[in-house]
Structure 1
Amino acid sequence: GEFDVSEDLVYVVVAGAHRQNVFPVLEEAVERYKGEAPIFKKEYVIDKEGVTKSRWVSERETL
């Protein structure tokens, strides 16, 4: 589907008795999502002449 720039795409919720116990789990979840989910985006750029150009960018290219 299509999403606006400001839209949230992912929510990760973790729960625990103390922050130090859940932060590593949260970080692992986000890193796994970034590494495994096939994310693609269409990037729009306006050049010096004012012409809008677009290209598809895979998540892997942006790292």
Structure 2
Amino acid sequence: MEMPVSGIANSWDETKEVFKKHDIPVGSNKALKEHLQDKELDLLISDLNKTIGSSEVTCIKGG
């Protein structure tokens, strides 16, 4: 949630489509939590994790 959107998109190219789906610009230097909150943020993180094949096992909380 702390990593900027652009950092995520540059690290995992496949996440760009997820950001577009959620109307978040892939070049944004803002953290995920600055774009969405609560259930919308949880849904975005879930979509991103599914896209990159990640889970809480491989990600630190607050990421």
Q: TM-score, normalised by structure 2?
A: 0.31
Q: Which structure exhibits the higher relative contact order, with contacts defined as CA atoms closer than 8 Å and separated by 6 or more residues?
A: 2
By percentage of residues, which structure has more strand? 1
Tell me the TM-score normalized by structure 1. 0.31
Which has more radius of gyration?
A: 1
